[in-house]
Amino acid sequence: MRVLLTGGSGFIGSHIALLLLERGFDVVILDSYANSSPNVINRINTYLDKNDLRYKIEIINGDIRDKKIIDNIFLESIKQSKNIDIVIHLAGLKSVSESLNNPLHYWDVNVLGTLNLLLTMKEYECYSLVFSSSATIYGLSDSVPISEDHKISPINPYGETKVAIEKMFFDLYNSNTNLWKICSLRYFNPVGAHPSGVIGEDPVGTPNNLFPFLTQVAIGRQKLLNVFGDDWDTKDGSGIRDYIHIIDLAEGHLASIDYLNSKESCLEFINLGSGNGYSVFQIITQFESSIGCQIPFSIQSRREGDVAKCYADISKAKKLLGWTPKRTLDQICLDGWNWQIKNPNGYR
């Protein structure tokens, strides 16, 4: 089976790529390297070679906004009698603050990029799609756990672009309910790394997110962790989130492919999280105990746009996809740390 994986050299995409290749899929990666390094692909190749695995990978360096490039991928595939069977679409921009400063860029890359892709898929009669949506579309609600029928009310342009894309899926699916097969996966907080330490999360500049910041404090790249608020309405006053091991998340995509293959047509919006909520203090304590270190931290005021609690109801993913996250918070800390210690400066 041939998969087009957009954004395949990014944090999430690289882990999905590795799993797909290990399981015998023929993978075409389209990435502009706007937020990733070509080294990622070398790492994946080296890992698979070392494990004596045969694999089929093709890399296209290009921008999702350039429709000709997408057209060409489908055209070349047909010429080689290796049609693209399914698309996993992750290419896009994901920084909330950047989206507030430069909203049009986010609409351009995320929404227009997706529109281009859907137009080409339609032209070449490829109707199966797995998409990377986000829990950010649920907005400022604290009513947890969050299920898929929760109110959609994004509070920043990044979230708005994900909602617009989901609306596009809705209209497209309803235009012919016998044709399209789409899973829009709403990720919560993907963290950790591949257990080998060959690939992991490598944010550009100072990390915005808790987990990469924490591992950078542990390795000495950051002095201390700022805890954004200890006065939230939670058991210890710090914010609660749903951290899911990146390999569990990647496995959710393989389960989605199986699900789409079993259907004549469908459109499903599905949460992918661990289903558990952990506070910032719980994460610090678990990380310290997993790797045996002390994390210096300082309490700061609340971060704008944060909520007290956000974690997923994952019963739909369990039921539809037959998928359950298997890895513990301890495993997340160990694998995240293993990646950080083996790659103190990421891919650089």
Find how far residue 191's CA is from the centre of its chain: 9
- Per DSSP, the residues of 22-49 read HTT-EEEEEE--TTS-THHHHHHHHHHH
Q: 221-260: which residues touch ligand NAD (CB under 6 A)?
A: none
Q: Which of 4, 5, 9, 242 binds ligand NAD (CB under 6 A)?
A: 9
What is the footprint of ligand UDP within residues 235-294 (CB under 6 A)?
239, 241, 280
- Rounded CA gap, 327 and 273, in Å? 11
Q: Does the footprint of ligand NAD cover residue 12 (CB under 6 A)?
A: yes
Judged by beta carbon, residue 194 or residue 241, the one nearer ligand UDP is 241
Least distance to ligand UDP, CB of residue 199, Å: 19
Confirm or reject binding of residue 210 to ligand UDP (CB under 6 A): yes
Interface with ligand UDP (CB under 6 A), residue total 14
Q: Does the annotation count 158 as an active-site position?
A: yes
Looking at beta carbons only, is 119 or 299 nearer to ligand NAD? 119
Instruction: Return the residue matching tokens 């293959």.
Output: 261
Instruction: Write the DSSP string, 89-128.
Output: E--S---HHHHHH-HHHHIIIIIIHHHHHHHHHHHTT--E
Residue 68 exposed, middle or buried by CB count within 10 Å (0-12, 13-18, 19+):
exposed
Which one among 23, 105, 263, 303 touches ligand UDP, defined by CB under 6 A? Answer: 303
Query: Exactly one of 132, 238, 256, 274 binds ligand NAD (CB under 6 A); which one?
Result: 132
Q: Report, in Å, the least distance between residue 13 CB and ligand NAD.
A: 5
231/306 with CB nearer ligand NAD:
306
Q: Which of 15, 28, 32, 103 is nearest to 66 (CA)?
A: 32
Under the binding rule (CB under 6 A), the answer on residue 158 touching ligand UDP is: no
* Whole-angstrom distance, CA of residue 247 vs CA of residue 14: 10
Is 325 a binder of ligand NAD (CB under 6 A)?
no
Query: What gap in Å lies between CA 58 and CA 29, rounded to an integer?
Result: 6
Closest residue to ligand UDP, based on beta-carbon distance: 239
Q: How far is CA 120 from CA 22, 67, 74, 77, 108, in A?
A: 28, 8, 8, 13, 17
Q: Which is nearer to ligand UDP, 280 or 334 (CB)?
A: 280
253 binds, among ligand NAD, ligand UDP, none (CB under 5 to 8 A by kind): none
Confirm if 55 and 21 have CB atoms less than 8 A apart.
yes
DSSP three-state, residue 20: helix
Shorter beta-carbon distance to ligand UDP: residue 173 or 188: 188
Choose among ligand NAD, ligand UDP, none what residue 226 binds, the Cβ cut-off being 5 to 8 Å by kind: ligand UDP
Q: Determine, following the binding rule CB under 6 A, whether residue 70 of this chain makes contact with ligand UDP.
A: no
The secondary structure element, H or E, covering residue 269 is: strand 266-272
* Residues annotated as part of the active site: 158
